[in-house]
């Protein structure tokens, strides 16, 4: 792999993969701008004008374009990369100011979250669970940010509950803290916290579970100083699926917590 700031890239230094055709060659570095690195090795250990052994590592490349949902205009946004298991922000970087492109490498063996933020917009979150045996892969994830306005709603993808319970898991803290920050920065916002389930279990059970989960989120926000008058808890059960309930992936997408702006 090598890093380059060539035109048309995703950010300041984009990562490119080299595949040798025929016998493996020893690459030579001629300038700092042509820095070549082994994945997961510190850059500080590398020197220019020296042969570098290229090793294959199991990692995932996540890339895409960040834009305004309505105008489709590319946006420069801040992106946090989070280790969900440790509840720790690993890195913060920005998408390209002209193209809105971003690119990040994710070594295998971790449960990652990403959060995309820009002033005047609702944040957007995703999570990726990459087991130790995950092969090299690339994901393209374009993100359209929604402006803060009445009716706007997003899925809080990094809020997790214990199985079959309304107990919020510790790895949800970063996502909840982002929501608290948004509410503190916009003190007139009133929002609904809606919880949804998949179709497994009875309709009545799923409605009660989703109601309890939405109340758990509201209780957490109140415990952190957000006024109860700004928060509405709503359980929807399995009544509003966004995906099929016939596959594991679809059911996972349907199990979600959303927040919607009611007034501002």
φ/ψ bin of 239: left (φ > 0), alpha (ψ from -120 to 50), beta (otherwise): alpha
Residues 6+ apart with CB under 8 A from 107: 39, 40, 57, 58, 59, 130
Mean pLDDT value of segment 145-173: 95
CATH architecture under which domain 59-146 falls: Sandwich (2.60)
Q: If DSSP codes are grouped into helix, strand and coil, which group holds residue 63? A: strand
For the chain, the domains span 1-57, 59-146, 148-264
Look up the CATH number of domain 148-264: 3.30.1330.60
Q: Exposure pattern of 140-160 as b/e (b: 16+ CB <10 Å)?
A: eeebbbbebeeebebbbbbbb
pLDDT higher than 50, residue 88: yes
**Dihedral pair phi/psi, residue 6, rounded to 5°:** -65, 160
pTM: 0.74
Q: Assign 89 to helix, strand or coil.
A: strand
Model pLDDT for residues 205-232, shown as the tens digit of each residue = 999 999 999 999 999 999 999 999 999 9
Residue 47's pLDDT is 47
pLDDT tens figures, 13-42: 566 666 555 555 555 444 444 434 334 444
Task: Provide mean pLDDT across the span 169-177.
Answer: 93
Separation of alpha carbons 126 and 156, rounded Å: 8
Tell me the average pLDDT across 78-91: 91
Q: How many CA atoms lie within 13 A of 89 on its CB side?
A: 13
Look at residue 75 and give its three-state secondary structure: coil
Whole-angstrom Cα distance, residue 257 to residue 57?
Answer: 35
Three-state DSSP at 254 gives helix
Distance CA 143, CA 200 (A): 30
Q: Are 125 and 176 in contact (CB under 8 A)?
A: no
């Amino acid at each position: 792999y090598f890093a380059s700031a060539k035109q048309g890239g995703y950010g300041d230094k984009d990562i490119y993969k080299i595949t040798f055709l025929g016998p493996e060659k020893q690459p030579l570095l001629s300038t700092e701008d042509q820095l070549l690195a082994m994945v997961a090795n510190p850059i500080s250990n590398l020197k220019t004008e020296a042969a570098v052994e290229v090793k294959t590592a199991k990692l995932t490349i996540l890339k895409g374009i960040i834009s305004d949902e309505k105008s489709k205009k590319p946006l420069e946004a801040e992106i946090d990369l989070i280790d969900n298991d440790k509840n720790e922000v690993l890195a913060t970087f920005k998408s390209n100011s002209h193209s809105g492109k971003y690119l990040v490498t994710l070594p295998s063996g971790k449960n990652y979250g990403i959060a995309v933020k820009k002033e005047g917009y609702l944040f957007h979150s995703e999570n990726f669970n990459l087991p130790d045996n995950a092969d090299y892969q690339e994901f393209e994830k374009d993100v359209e940010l929604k402006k803060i306005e009445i009716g706007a709603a997003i899925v809080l993808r990094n809020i997790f509950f214990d199985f079959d319970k309304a107990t919020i898991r510790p790895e949800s803290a970063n996502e909840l803290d982002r929501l608290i920050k948004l509410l503190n920065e916009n003190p007139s916002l009133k929002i609904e916290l809606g919880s949804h389930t998949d179709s497994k279990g009875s309709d009545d059970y799923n409605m009660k579970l989703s109601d309890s989960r939405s109340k758990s989120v509201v209780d957490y926000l109140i415990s952190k100083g957000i006024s109860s008058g700004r928060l509405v808890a709503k359980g929807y059960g399995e009544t509003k699926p966004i995906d099929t309930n016939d596959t594991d992936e679809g059911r996972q997408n349907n199990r979600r917590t959303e927040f919607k702006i009611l007034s501002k």
